[in-house]
Amino acid sequence: MAQVSLRKVIKAYEGGVQAVKGIDLEIADHEFVVLVGPSGCGKSTTLRMIAGLEEISGGDIAIGGTIVNDIPPRDRDIAMVFQNYALYPHMSVYDNMAFGLTLRKFPKAEIDKRVKEAARILDITPLLERKPKALSGGQRQRVAMGRAIVRDPKVFLFDEPLSNLDAKLRVQMRTEIKKVHQTVKTTTIYVTHDQVEAMTLADRVVVMNHGVIEQVGPPQELYHHPATKFVAGFIGSPAMNFIPARIEEASGALNVVMNNGTTLAVPEDRVARYRPHAGKQVLFGIRPEHLTDDKTMDKSNLAPLSLTPEVIEPMGMETLAHFRHEGTEITARLDPSTPAEVGKPLALIAHMNQMHIIDPTTDKVI
């Protein structure tokens, strides 16, 4: 059990590609941290540097207070679960799990105890004698986790462990991973590009983009208070709408004015925050779930507007309506009982308490 710190960590591959551009991150003992971001943003590279599988080009990585920059993976006391599991095909499930302990010269009885215990936690006891070839994807996934658990390492590292599973199993294993973490409480760093996984598993989410950290925070905070346009657009599904607009001052109050003249009143408690931007072009950010016809929740600061749907997607528990407004796509989440029709103007409500204003010159949320 240990905390992990990254200080100004840089990774430059030969050829000059900077995959990780100086990141700082402090991970507390027992914490479950998820690195999330689009493909190629440097998540795996960061994880592999922590594991010691990739040399670091600059900065320091410390595990449990010791700088591990030059310590080989086997002496870092970490365990890793790979995307394609990387089970040893010539060893039985039992031997796969016992391998790390055997190499570390644990007594036979202790190995047996730990393997049996991990198998019990993961519900794979009947599979111990099989070879990995005779297992399903989900079972292999469990064995890979078992191999990590038996070691009782300082840190668990996961690199997209669920992306080879089908949708249903992914949800099931996600819960499983969370349960295991609640049982063994080992510090965990988990890489995924799936923001639902990130939101559901993490104590804290680290959003990465182009080799830098955009924002670190608990899932709810990232959702409600994104720091940048990237985080605002990346967290949440369907993604937040970004509508070009202006902030205009009218007799002491502020309004968000869309290019077609639609005017939405800014809540009073935000007026001071936005006043310096009065008269400027901004991006009006609002999540589909806050652009709706549902009038039952949160009565204050509702702003009416009318849009004409291009596509209606009934999902059962909700209906998504897609609009095209001055060249931008807008999505709204409707009550399934709303009689929405393509081509017929629809009265919507914007929950202005939940909106975000983004400065398009810096892409920062104001």
Partner 1 sequence: MADGGAATLPRIEAPGGASLKRFARRRSTIAFLMTLPLIAVIGGLVVWPAGYAIHLATLNRRMTSFIGLGNFEILLESETFRMVIFQSVFFAITAVILKAAIGFWLAHMLHHIPANGQRKWRGMLLVPWVIPPALSTLGWWWMFEPTYSSINWILNIFAIPSVPWLGEPWWARISVIIVNVWYGAPFFMIMYLAALKSVPEQLYEAAAIDGATSWQRLRYVTLPMMRNIISITVLFSLIVTFANYDIVRVLTNGGPRDLTHVFASYAFQVGILAGNIPRGAAVSLFMFPILAIIAFFVLRGVNRRNKEEA
Nearest to ligand ATP of 115, 205 (CB atom) = 205
Q: How far is the CB of 159 from ligand ATP (least distance, A)?
A: 7
Burial of residue 344 (number of CB atoms within 10 Å: 0-12, 13-18, 19+): exposed
> Which secondary-structure segment (H or E) carries 212?
strand 212-217
Q: How far is the CB of 14 from ligand ATP (least distance, A)?
A: 7
Contacting ligand ATP within 158-217 (CB under 6 A): 193
Contacting partner 1 within 129-148 (CB under 8 A): 131, 133-134, 147
- With CB under 5 to 8 Å by kind, the binding choice for 142 among Mg ion, partner 1, ligand ATP, none is none
Q: How far is the CB of 44 from Mg ion (least distance, A)?
A: 3
145-171 in b/e form (b: 16+ CB < 10 A) is: bbbbbbbebbbbbbbbbbebbeeebbe
**Among residues 11, 23, 32, 44, which is the contact residue for Mg ion, using CB under 5 A?**
44
Pairwise CA distance, residues 158 & 187, whole Å: 11
Stretch that binds Mg ion, among 36-44, 95-103, 134-142, 350-358 (CB under 5 A): 36-44
Contacting ligand ATP within 35-74 (CB under 6 A): 37, 39-45
- C-alpha dihedral sign at 350, 207, 148, 30: negative
Q: How far is the CB of 222 from ligand ATP (least distance, A)?
A: 18
- C-alpha dihedral sign at 13, 17, 21, 27: negative
**Among residues 17, 103, 109, 317, which is the contact residue for partner 1, using CB under 8 A?**
103
Contact pattern from residue 28 through residue 67 relative to partner 1, giving x for each residue in contact according to CB under 8 A and a dash for the rest: -----------------------xxx--------------
Nearest to ligand ATP of 193, 325 (CB atom) = 193
Q: How far, in Å, are 94, 96, 274, 352, 363 from residue 277 at the CA level?
A: 63, 60, 5, 17, 14
Nearest to partner 1 of 84, 306 (CB atom) = 84
Nearest to partner 1 of 151, 325 (CB atom) = 151
Tokens of 246: 């202006």
Secondary structure (3-state) at 21: strand
> Which residue from 151, 20, 172 is spatially nearest to 73, judged by alpha carbons?
151
Q: How far is the CB of 100 from ligand ATP (least distance, A)?
A: 24
Q: How far is the CB of 87 from partner 1 (least distance, A)?
A: 8
Pairwise CA distance, residues 365 & 315, whole Å: 31
Taking a C-beta distance cutoff of 8 angstroms, is the pair 54, 48 a contact? Answer: yes
Nearest to ligand ATP of 208, 305 (CB atom) = 208
> Which residue from 331, 286, 293, 292 is spatially nearest to 313, judged by alpha carbons?
331
**Among residues 13, 24, 84, 295, which is the contact residue for partner 1, using CB under 8 A?**
84
Taking a C-beta distance cutoff of 8 angstroms, is the pair 33, 206 a contact? Answer: yes
Q: How far is the CB of 237 from Mg ion (least distance, A)?
A: 20
> Which residue from 147, 128, 151 is spatially nearest to 161, judged by alpha carbons?
147
The residues binding partner 1 (CB under 8 A) are 51-53, 72-74, 78-80, 82, 84, 86-91, 99-100, 103-104, 131, 133-134, 147, 151
Residue ranges binding ligand ATP (CB under 6 A): 13, 17, 19, 37, 39-45, 193
